Amino acid sequence: MAARTGMGVTTIGRIWAEAKLKPHRIETFKFSTDPDLEAKIRDVVGLYLAPPERAIVLSVDEKTQIQALDRTAPMLPLRPGQVERHTHDYKRNGTTSLFTALEVATGKVTAQARARHTGDDFLAFLAQVERAYPDGDLAVVLDNVSSHKTPAVREWLDAHPRVSFHCTPTPASWMNQIETWFGILSHQAIRRGSFRSVKELIAMIAAFTAQWNEGSTPFNWVKTADQILAKAVHKPRAISESGH
């Protein structure tokens, strides 16, 4: 821009700063085409901000293909003036899938590691969750993947009327609060670990979850449905009278 306008680089930088322009930064976005977008957003946000009396709201999802990676050399821990370091190369020792339910009111997590992530695996986890919360209605927030909609899962729901599903819009996985916990798990435990087997990986996840639950606190959801809809719904730009 400086070369094209004949201005100095410093002048261009000052103009950008005054206009709060940051051309070096790029973000992505995607508008949802879900026909039930508004209804789903209001349903899920309503559960977060004003849950039904005596109901337990659970945010449920699975983190698939978690790799047990073993670094080729021991990690070098942080010390004054030196960040934590580990080798860039590693050995793959298998994967696991983690089914997880976050109790929205308390932040408590129920987790189960499974070799696969089929409808049957999801159903086994649902049974565990239902046993963990024997009293009250369970409102389960989850996404729209096929393993959540199998005939066996629908039959299970019919047989357990106190459990209800509340789907996030597609694609809007960020509305599922368990995704925030998955991020914490990955950053604080999985990425910093070295695992010689899937068994070691699962043991670490179990230990991390137990420690989390000892001091668990809920995530603070602040966005209203109207605020989300104002950004989630695509509004075509107005076309000027000249047609441009």
Q: Identify the structural domains of the chain with CATH numbers, from first to last.
A: 1-30 (no CATH), 33-75+84-222 (3.30.420.10)
With bands split at pLDDT 50, 70 and 90, how would you rate the model's confidence at 122? very high
| Global pTM exceeds 0.85 | no
Q: Supply φ then ψ for residue 25, to 5 degrees.
A: -100, 140
* Mean pLDDT score, 70-77: 62
Res 85 pLDDT > 70 = no
- For residue 97, pLDDT over 90 is answered with yes
Encoding tokens for residue 215?
């001091």
Average pLDDT over residues 87-112: 88
What pLDDT, in 10s, does the model give residues 49-71? 999 888 999 999 999 989 888 77
Q: Which of 177, 190, 49 is nearest to 102 (CA)?
A: 177
pLDDT, mean over the chain: 85
Q: What are phi and psi of 186, to 5 degrees?
A: -65, -45
- 166 vs 148: CA distance, rounded Å: 11
pLDDT-based confidence at residue 238 (cuts at 50, 70, 90): very low
pLDDT digit string (tens) for 180-230?
Answer: 999 999 998 888 778 889 999 999 999 999 999 999 999 999 889 998 888
